[in-house]
Structure 1
Amino acid sequence: MREIHNADLNLVRVFVAVMEERGVTRAAERLHLTQSAISHALARLRETLGDELFIRGPNGMYPTPRALELAQAFKPALRQIEGALAGNTFNPETSDITFAISTSDFLTATVIPELMARIRCHAPKAGCWLRPLSELNITEELDRGALHVAIGVFGKTPSRFVSEPLFSDQSVWLMRRDHPAAAGPFGLQALAAFPHVDILISDQLQPAGDATIDQGGLERAYITSNPRYIEGLLGAEGLTRTVGATVSHILAVPALLAATDMIAYVPLQFALRAVRALDLAWRDPPYHAPPFEISMLSHRTMGAHPAVAWLRQALVESAERYHRKD
C-alpha cells in the first residue's frame, strides 16, 4: 500500500471489518471468511504498513494511532469503490448484499421478522446486519455508508437524510391481568400506588432526563417510560412515583410485570403481543398522550441506490403486513 501497484482491495476490506467489529471472529463472520484468513490478511497489512495496527485487549482488538488515521481514509474510500463496482443495478434473486439496519429491540421483535421473511423469499442470498440504535451515532454511520437505514422515532432531520413514515403507535400502561389496577378506575392515584419499570434504552439518557437527544443535527427520540413527564403529572397532584426496576431492553419488561405488581409504559403494539404471550393486561393512560411515529431514515444520496431502495420498499411492505395481523 506504500505503492499503488501493490495495493490489495481485499486487505482494505479486512482492515475496515476488523476496525468496525473490533475482533477477528466477528470480522470473519461478516466477510464470510475463516479466522485464519483474517489473521493472515492482518499479518500482510502489518508487514506492508510497518505498524501493529491492532492490539488485542480484554474486550477485543484496539486500533493503534496509525490504524485510526488510516480508517479515516479507508472506510469512505472502500464504500465508494464497492458502490462503483456494484453499478446502478440490483437483482434481489442473485445479490449477496448484507443490509445494515439500525433499530431497537422493540422493532427487531416485531417488524423485522416480517422483513426477514420477505428477504428470505425474494432475496435468498442476502442477509441482514441488525445494529442497536441506542449504541450508534446514526448520522455518522449513514454518512459513511456503514448503515443502509435506521428505524426509530426521529424529530428534526438534516436535509441530507430522508425520513419515511412506517407506522404510528401510542403508549399504554401494561400490567398483570389480575393486577389491582387492571380493573376499575385508572388514574394518577394508581400510577403513584404501584412501582414502575423504567425503560431507558440508551446510556445517554438519565432516569430523570428527557427522552430525546440531538445527534449531529438529528433529533432522536427513544421509546422510554419518559420519567420526567410522568413525575411532572404526579407532582402537580402532590403525588410521587416509585421505581421498581430500570431496564435497558423493552423485551425484558413483560416477564417482570407477570411476576410482580410493577407496571410499565410501553408502545401499544408491543403490549398487544405481550398480552397474547403472557397473562397481562393494558390500560390507556389517564392523561393526554399523543401518538408517536416510527420512521425509516436513509441517506438522500446513498439511499437512492437500487439495493437500498429495494430494502426501503420491503420495510414499508413489512410494516403494513405486520399491522394487518392485529
Structure 2
Amino acid sequence: MNGIHTTDLNLIRVFDALMEERSVTRAGERLGLSQSAVSHALAKLRLLLSDELFVRGPDGMHPTPRAMELADPLRSALAQISTALSAPRFDPATSDMTFVVATSDYYIGALFPKVMARIRREAPRIRLWLRMFNDINLVEELDRGTLHLVVGAFGRIPGRFRRETLAPVEMVWIMRRDHPAAGSPLTLETLGHWPHVDILLSGRATPEAPGMQDQEGLERSFVTSNPTHLEALLREAGLTRQVGATVPLILAVPPLVAASDMVAMVPREVAETHRDSYGLAIFDSPYARPPTQIDMLSHNSHGAHPAVLWLRRILDEVGRA
C-alpha cells in the first residue's frame, strides 16, 4: 500500500475478510457490508497495490501471489490494532507491573506488610514502590500518573481525585513507663505540664502549621496530633502546650519518648507494638477525639485502570481485615 497516511484502514478489514471467505458476498455478510461496498473496496485495494489481489474462478475468489504475501502481515496488524483499542486487561497472576504508592512510615510498617503478603499469593511478579509522602507534590504526581495511590489523612480533595475510606486509626498518648506522670490518669493538666513530641509529615510545613494545609486544592494532614484543637483546650484551662521535639517520622517517636520526659500522640498499633521494647505507658485521650479517618486517593482517570482497581481492592480488603 502507498502508506498509512493515505490508506483507509477499513480496506485492510475487507482484504482480510476476502482472504478468509474467498467470496465478495460472504465477506460482506461477515463485515456487515453490502456486496457493492465490498466490490468498491476491492477496486480501491487493486488501485492502491497495482495488483488484482483476487481473481474470480468457478469455486470463488483466488488470491494472487501478492495477496498471499500480504495476508499474514495484515492479519497480524489488525490483531494488534484490535488489542490496542480494546479495554485494558490486567492479570495479576502474570503481570510484572510496578505500583507506586505514597504514604507515611506508619502505613509502610503497619499496612503494607499485610498487603505484600496478599500480593505474594495472588501476583508474585508485582512490585511495590512505597514512597514517603512527606515532600512529594501529591497533586502533581497523581495528575501525571507517576503515583497510582496515596494513603493518608485528607480534608478537601480536588474533584478529579477519587476518595475511598480505609479503616480509621485510633490515636493514643504515650510516655515512658517510669515517667513521673505515668502512675496517674492522663489529664489536660498533664498534657499542659510535660513537653510533647510533634510529628510533622512534611519538610515544607512549619512546626506552627495547622493540622491541615492546602496543597493545590488538596488538604493534607501535616501534624498528626491536631495541635490547634489541643492548644485551644489547654488555653481554656489556663495551660499552654510545650513542644520538646518535632520529627518527620511516626516510628521515630517511641524511642524519643522512652529516653525523655516528653509525651506524644501516636496510632494505637504503634504504641502497642513498641510498648514492651521501649517500656511505654499508653493512655486514652483525656478529651473527646474521634479516630483519624484514613483515605486512599487515586486519580479518576488513572485509578480506573484494571490494574489500579485491583490494587485498590487489595488495600481496602486488607485495611478492613
Q: TM-score, normalised by structure 2?
A: 0.70
**In 2, distance between residues paired with 1:244 and 1:164?**
35
- Which structure 2 residues correspond to residues 58-137 of structure 1 after superposition, within 5 A? 88-137=88-137
**In 1, distance between residues paired with 2:288 and 2:273?**
23
> What amino acid is aligned across from residue 283 of structure 1 in structure 2?
F
**In 1, distance between residues paired with 2:178 and 2:149?**
41
Partner of residue 238, structure 1: 238
> What amino acid is aligned across from residue 134 of structure 2 in structure 1?
S
SS in 2 for 1:135: coil
SS in 1 for 2:134: helix
**In 2, distance between residues paired with 1:312 and 1:261?**
41
Cα shift at 1:222: 3.0
Moved over 3 A (4+): 83-87
Does the C-alpha gap of structure 1 residues 86 and 302 become closer, same or farther in structure 2, counting only changes over 3 Å? farther
SS in 2 for 1:109: helix
SS in 2 for 1:167: coil
Would you say the 8 A contact 1:182–1:283 is kept in 2?
A: no
Unaligned 5+ segments in structure 2 are 1-82
Would you say the 8 A contact 2:212–2:223 is kept in 1?
A: no
Over the residues paired in the alignment, what is the CA RMSD in angstroms?
2.0
Unaligned 5+ segments in structure 1 are 1-82, 322-326
Q: What is the percent sequence identity of the aligned residues?
A: 50
Would you say the 8 A contact 2:198–2:223 is kept in 1?
A: no
Partner of residue 225, structure 2: 225
SS in 2 for 1:139: helix
Corresponding pairs, count:
239
1:174 aligns with 2:177: no
* 1:162-212 deviation digits (Å, cap 9, x = unpaired): 111111123221111232322323212111222211111212322222011
**In 2, distance between residues paired with 1:264 and 1:212?**
19
SS in 1 for 2:150: strand
Partner of residue 317, structure 1: 317
Would you say the 8 A contact 2:210–2:223 is kept in 1?
A: no
* 1:63-114 deviation digits (Å, cap 9, x = unpaired): xxxxxxxxxxxxxxxxxxxx96996111111111000101011111100111
Would you say the 8 A contact 1:88–1:305 is kept in 2?
A: yes
> What amino acid is aligned across from residue 281 of structure 2 in structure 1?
A
Tell me whether 229-238 or 299-308 shows the greater mean CA deviation. 229-238
1:281 aligns with 2:281: yes
**In 1, distance between residues paired with 2:319 and 2:169?**
12
**In 2, distance between residues paired with 1:199 and 1:274?**
17
Does the C-alpha gap of structure 1 residues 223 and 207 become closer, same or farther in structure 2, counting only changes over 3 Å? closer
SS in 2 for 1:181: coil
Would you say the 8 A contact 1:275–1:281 is kept in 2?
A: yes
Partner of residue 79, structure 2: none
